[in-house]
Amino acid sequence: RAKDLGKNAYHFYSHDMNRQNTQQFSVQAALRFALERQQLKLVFQPQMNLATGQLSGMECLIRWQHPDMGWISPAEFIPIAEETGMIIPIGHWVLLEACRTAQQWRAAGLLVPKMAVNLSVRQFKPGVLVEQVASVLQETGFPAYLLELEVTESLIMRRINEAVDIMNALKAMGVTLAIDDFGTGYSSLSQLKYLPLDILKIDRSFVEGLPCDHDDMAIAQTIIAMAKKLSLSVVAEGVETAEQMQALHAAGCDTIQGYFYAKPLPAEAMAQMMQRV
């Protein structure tokens, strides 16, 4: 779909730019337009605590509602937003909109659990990110202890020195930090101990084969055991069946997120899952 987005504009810019640049250029323009015209939306995926069976958190996920092409997945446009730099204003919008929405829920008397927001590599900038998070929290009134920031494993390991300083500053503000898609990057496990993390999210690819696939089972169990030794809380992503949930619970996993419990929901449906204070 990202390719289709660029097609219309192709004729106008094709002279000295190569095709890929042209496509990126037009997708970038489309994304800027999308942000201005409020075509970007947030959905919220509930997380369940395995010990209590209760709602214990949620992850905020972006969607693009294109007037002609319908819903476009972030897997298609986030990589282009990252390459073109559009992720900077988009990422800021996500953080602001998420905190604003959650604070409105609180004001309406709902018991709002922790809310996770995804960050991408381009946002992880010294002198920018920490200031941005602080100003969003101040502007919205959403408390830092309810905000969780997710960064992917590969991003952190690519810029580990820079990342540690930024993460320490975020932690000092009271924000919770999670490492996302764990197991898919190329980190050495020993590097994890240098990061001020609170949560480790096991990637969906290891959850998929549970409980039958012995390799996936061994990997999931090992990741959970390691996380526990490092005093990290574990969230398993992409849990679709009761059997997967049971296997994860038996292995000591704390929290699950996935279609088995709930799909990503529009704000109104998410609010209905919360209790009143």
Among 48, 86, 94, 224, binds ligand C2E (CB under 6 A): 94
> Binding partner of residue 78 among Mg ion, ligand C2E, none, CB under 5 to 8 Å per kind?
ligand C2E
Helix spans in the chain (H): 2-13, 19-36, 74-84, 87-107, 129-140, 153-158, 160-172, 204-207, 214-229, 242-250, 267-272
CB proximity list for 175: less than 8 A, separation 6 or greater: 133, 144, 145, 147, 148, 149
CB proximity list for 222: less than 8 A, separation 6 or greater: none
- Residue 176, interface with ligand C2E (CB under 6 A)? no
Are the C-beta atoms of 91 and 125 separated by less than 8 Å? no
Among 73, 168, 246, 275, binds ligand C2E (CB under 6 A): 73
Among 206, 223, 264, 270, binds ligand C2E (CB under 6 A): 264
- Residue 12, interface with ligand C2E (CB under 6 A)? no
> Binding partner of residue 75 among ligand C2E, Mg ion, none, CB under 5 to 8 Å per kind?
ligand C2E
Work out the number of other CB atoms within 10 angstroms of the CB of residue 175. Answer: 22
User: Of 32 and 63, which has the nearer Cβ to Mg ion?
Assistant: 63
> Binding partner of residue 62 among Mg ion, ligand C2E, none, CB under 5 to 8 Å per kind?
ligand C2E
Residues near ligand C2E (CB under 6 A), total:
23
Residue 255: closest CA among 60, 45, 57, 114: 57
Q: Which residue is nearest to ligand C2E (CB)?
A: 258
Return the structure tokens found at 114.
Answer: 């922790």
In the complex, the residues that contact ligand C2E under the rule CB under 6 A are 45, 61-62, 73-75, 78, 91, 94, 118-120, 180-181, 204, 237-240, 257-259, 264
